[in-house]
Amino acid sequence: MSRGSRLLLGGFLVFCALCFLAMAPGLGKGMIACALFCGLGAVACFSTGSHPVTIRLLGGTVFVLCLVYLISTARNPLARAPHAPQRAVPAIVYGLSCFVAIGLPAGYAALTGRYPLWGRGAEAFHGPKKGAKKKKRPGPPPPGGPVPPRYPPRA
């Protein structure tokens, strides 16, 4: 992730942490947990030396939350999810898709301390895949028409 992206994301996370702390007296201790999570993310953005620890903590937290969601949907697998559209999709489908798309990469990050190359959006963390060729954009034609050959063809 580029330095500018980390600074922008870190600043936004500090703002979110402060907002959660401001709401904590009226809404309870859950807001303090959200503020701590945002603060941990901000530390990960601002201090690259803390990445081995903060990435593991963030990944472990997200993995556990996705696992809890999966277990809560598995208790009543045919229930309709309250946040789902009008289609009759069982809640377990949402739980499984959340765990596979978000929970597994987060668990990998918790174990290894870095985001997996196979995770969704991995290019944002690791850059473009090695061996991937950039497409060349056709540039504007040179002034005066096409470029003549360097040497005239032999007869």
- SS (HEC) of the chain: CCHHHHHHHHHHHHHHHHHHHHHHHHHCHHHHHHHHHHHHHHHHHHCHHHHHHHHHHHHHHHHHHHHHHHHHHHHCCCCECCCCCCCCCEHHHHHHHHHHHHHHHHHHHHHHCCCCCCCCCHHHHHCCCCCCCCCCCCCCCCCCCCCCCCCCCCC
- Judgement on whether residues 61 and 111 belong to the same structural domain of the protein: yes
Q: How many domains does the chain have?
A: 2
112 shares its domain with 60: yes
pTM, two decimals, is: 0.64
Residue 137 lies in a domain: no
Same domain, yes or no: 31 and 55 = no
Q: Is 61 in the same domain as 101?
A: yes
Each residue's pLDDT tens digit in the chain (155 positions)? 677 878 888 888 899 899 888 888 888 888 888 888 888 888 888 887 887 888 888 889 899 989 988 988 888 766 666 666 656 677 788 889 889 988 988 898 888 887 776 666 666 665 666 665 666 666 665 566 666 666 666 66
Residue 130 domain flag? no
Q: Do residues 37 and 61 share a domain?
A: no
Q: Which domain holds residue 66?
A: 50-124
